[in-house]
Amino acid sequence: MSVTLPNILDSFSVCLPFPSGVQAYWSMEEASGTLSDATGNGYDLTSTDLLTYHAAGKHNYCISPTNEVGSYAYGTTTGLHFTNLSISAWFKTTYVTQDKQIVGKYYWSPNANGFQAYISYDGYPTFIAYSVGSSSAFTATSFGSLNDGNWHHVVFTFENDTKYIRIYVDGDEDTSSPYTCLYTLVYIVDSTPIYVGTNYWQDNGFVGSLDEIGVWNRVLSATEVSDLWNGGDGCFYT
């Protein structure tokens, strides 16, 4: 005899438990106001007036920045400066005018330091690791444009010991990855907030949709990245 069970779990639940070490996670479910850090670590984000909330997301709702300038969220000036890290995000865009930052925490003057994770103007996932000074920066770019208006999952990882940068797109590691960085990831100052949807100057804004962004204090494995992708259904922090 067969028994049909009610569908009480979303498809993403099959990949639980969620990868350990997540330090901040923004589900983007809010209809207004502060974007809460779901981990409870207190890395909530303050948004600007131009940020669009409650757009249709990859999972429930998302934020939808609609302007290059003034449509973003920012967080604390302390913490989230790891020398080993992973960043996971879902996004979609068709915007080709300029680079579109997903998340970054870096300081530019007088010596650039920190990191940027963004989608280039032509749709390529890109990670920049700054050591000390703009001349000590290493850029890793995945090849294959994602400016197609569909939801995509991207993961960036940086391992300080090996100096490897890895980029995963829709569950698979980029064929050119890992990229061997020439520098260690350095944070000299801690006075710059983490930015979501824009860069240090707040003028290189993401135009499109951003959802389910997480930051880890370690390097996620290929298996964990595949779990987060979950065949395209996604695995989300609960």
* HSE toward the beta carbon, residue 105, CA cutoff 13 A: 24
- 158-216 pLDDT, tens digit each: 998 888 999 999 999 998 888 988 777 766 556 678 889 877 777 777 889 999 999 99
Domains and CATH numbers, the chain: 20-232 (2.60.120.200)
Distance CA 60, CA 12 (A): 12
What's the predicted TM-score (pTM) here? Answer: 0.89
Phi, psi of 115 (to 5 degrees): -145, 160
| pLDDT tens per residue, range 11-64 | 444 456 788 999 999 999 999 889 999 999 999 998 877 788 889 999 999 998
